[in-house]
Amino acid sequence: MDYFLIATVLIVLSAIFGYINTRFLKLPNSIGLMLITILFTLAVFLLSYFDDTLLLKERELITSIDFKTVLLDIMLSFLLFAGALHTNFQQLKIQRKPVLIFATLGTLISTFLTGILVFYALKIINLDVDFIYCLLFGALISPTDPIAVLGIMKKVGAPKKLETKIVGESLFNDGVGVVIFLTIYQIASGGTDVSAGHIVELFFVEVVGGIIFGLIIGWITYRLLKSIDDYDTEVIITLAAVMGGTLVAQHFHLSAPLAMVTAGLLVGTDTVRKNSMSQVTEMYVDKFWELIDVLLNTVLFVLIGMEILVLTLDTTYILAGFMVIPLLLLARYVSLLLPIKLYAEKLDFVPKTNLIMTWGGLRGGISIALALSLTQDMERDLFLVITYIVVVFSILVQGLTVGKLIKKFTQEI
C-alpha cells in the first residue's frame, strides 16, 4: 500500500469513529476511539466467517504499517511537544523532585518488580520463560504513556498539583524507560559490551543529552519568535523546531522525546510566551498544536485498536495477560511508595496520592511499540498479547474510572 492510501484510510476511519463517539458515546476521545475500533475489528472478524474480503484488507493495511517507527520516530515528538506546551510549568517546577524520582527510581523499581512477579506468575500456567525476557517486559510496560495520560487528565478535572505529578512523570519516564529497555535488550540478545560504564554512558547521552538539546532548541525557538511578529511564520518556526530537532536528536542518538518535552516546556512558559508572542500569535500557536495533538491522538488510538489483528490469540497467552494486570498495578504501587513518603507532607500531596497515581498510570502505544520490537526468541508473541491486554484494560477500564477515583478522594480540595 502507498503512504497516501494508508493515511487516507486511517484519517477517514478516525473521522467516522470520532463522529460516532462525539455524537453518541460521548467518551473521552482516546477511550471512545479505541473502543469503537476494537468493536469494528471484532465485527470484521465475525463477518469474515461469511466473507473475509474486509478482514484481509484490514490486515493488509495494519501489517503494512511499521507501528514502532511511526509512533516512536515520528508521532511521539509532535505529541510530546504539544502536551508539554500546555503543561503548567510553575506547578511542575514545584513538584520537580518527586516527579524526578517517579520517573527514574520509580521506573527502575517497577521494571524489576514486574519482571520478578511475571516470571513466577507465568510458571503457574506452565509458561517457562527466561527471567531476562520477563525483565525486558517489565522495562517496556513500566513507563506510563504520556499520550494516554495527557488525553485522560484533560477530561477528569484533577487538582493541578496531582495532575502535574501524573503528567510530569509520564512526560519524562518514557526516556528513562527506553534506556532501561535498550540496556536489558542488549543483555537479552547476547550483547557483550554491556557494562556499568556503558549503561551510564547510554543514560547521559540519551537522557541528559536529550534534555540539554531540548533546552537549546527551545532557546533558539524563543529567540526567533521574539525577533518577529508574524503569526504565520511563528507557527511554522515551532513546527520546524519539532521536525528539525527530532531529526538531529535521532542522528546523534539523543532522546528525541525528552528533547521535545524540554523544548515544549520552555516555549510554553508564561515568561517566554509574554516576551516572545503577541496575543494573536499565542492563540494561533496554541490552536495549531491543539489540532496536531487531536489529529495524531485520533489516528494513534485507531491504530492501537487495529493492532489486535497482529496478535497470536492463544488462550494461554490471553490468560497470562489478565493475570499480569493486578501484578503490574501492585508493582507500580510499591514503586511510588518511597517518593510519596519523602515528599507527601512537604508538598501537601492530595489524599491517597499513591492509589490515584497507581490507577492513573495508564499504558498506551509506547508499550505496544516496544513489544513489537522484540524478536521471536524473546517470546514476542506472548508479550505482545500481554501488553495489548494491559493497554486495553488501562485505557478502557482505568481511563474510564480514574476521574471518579480522583473526585472521591479530592472532593474536599
Predicted local distance difference test score (pLDDT) of residue 179: 81
Task: Quick: pLDDT tens for 31-48.
Answer: 999 999 999 999 999 999
The band of 192, judged by pLDDT with boundaries at 50, 70 and 90, is low
**Residue scoring higher pLDDT (223 or 147):** 223
- Give the contacts of 70 (CB within 8 A, at least 6 positions apart): 303
Predicted local distance difference test score (pLDDT) of residue 158: 76
3-state secondary structure of 316: helix
Predicted local distance difference test score (pLDDT) of residue 164: 87
Q: Give me the long-range contacts of 119-125 (CB less than 8 A, separation at least 24).
A: 121/320, 121/323, 121/324, 121/327, 122/320, 124/323, 125/316, 125/319, 125/320, 125/323
Q: Which has the closest alpha carbon to 189: 405, 49, 44, 373?
A: 373
Q: Which has the closest alpha carbon to 232: 278, 266, 275?
A: 278
Q: Per-residue pLDDT averaged across 245-260, rounded?
A: 93
Predicted local distance difference test score (pLDDT) of residue 387: 97
Q: Per-residue pLDDT averaged across 262-277, rounded?
A: 94
The amino acid at residue 225 is L
* Mean predicted lDDT score pLDDT of the chain: 91
The band of 204, judged by pLDDT with boundaries at 50, 70 and 90, is confident
Predicted local distance difference test score (pLDDT) of residue 1: 62
- Give the contacts of 37 (CB within 8 A, at least 6 positions apart): 13, 17, 301, 302, 304, 305, 306
Q: Which has the closest alpha carbon to 172: 149, 155, 151?
A: 149
User: What's 106's domain CATH number?
Assistant: 1.20.1530.20
Q: Which domain holds residue 134?
A: 67-410
In total, how many domains does the chain have? 1
Report helix angle 231-251 to 209-227, nearest 10: 160
Is 19 a member of any domain? Answer: no
413 pLDDT more than 80:
no
Is 87 a member of any domain? Answer: yes
What is the spatial distance between Cα 302 and Cα 38, in angstroms, rounded to a whole number? 8
- Which residue reads 498544536 in cell numbers? 289
Is 11 a member of any domain? Answer: no
- Give the contacts of 61 (CB within 8 A, at least 6 positions apart): 1, 6, 9, 306
Is 151 a member of any domain? Answer: yes
Give percent of the chain with pLDDT exceeding 70.
98
Is 24 a member of any domain? Answer: no
Grid cell in block for residue 116: 520478578
Give percent of the chain with pLDDT exceeding 90.
69
The amino acid at residue 223 is R
Is 146 a member of any domain? Answer: yes
Number of residues assigned to the chain: 413
Is 48 a member of any domain? Answer: no
The band of 261, judged by pLDDT with boundaries at 50, 70 and 90, is very high
Q: Per-residue pLDDT averaged across 4-23, rounded?
A: 94
Is 25 a member of any domain? Answer: no
What is the spatial distance between Cα 308 and Cα 311, in angstroms, rounded to a whole number? 5
Task: Quick: pLDDT tens for 144-181.
Answer: 988 778 777 777 777 888 888 888 999 888 878 888 89
The band of 191, judged by pLDDT with boundaries at 50, 70 and 90, is low
What is the spatial distance between Cα 158 and Cα 407, in angstroms, rounded to a whole number? 8
Task: Count the neighbouring beta carbons within 10 Å of the beta carbon of residue 359.
Answer: 20
Task: Quick: pLDDT tens for 70-93.
Answer: 998 899 999 999 989 988 888 888
Q: Of 30-44, 131-145, 185-199, where does mean pLDDT reach its minimum?
A: 185-199
Predicted local distance difference test score (pLDDT) of residue 194: 64
Q: Considering Cα of 250, then 168, then 116, then 193, what sign does the dihedral take? A: positive
3-state secondary structure of 254: coil
Query: Following DSSP, what letter does each residue of 338-381 receive, concatenated?
Result: HHHHHHTTTTTPPTTHHHHHHHH----HHHHHHHHTS-GGGTHH
357 pLDDT more than 90:
yes
Predicted local distance difference test score (pLDDT) of residue 162: 85
CB-based burial, 391-404: b 16+ in 10 Å, e otherwise? bbbbbbebbeebbe
321 pLDDT more than 70:
yes
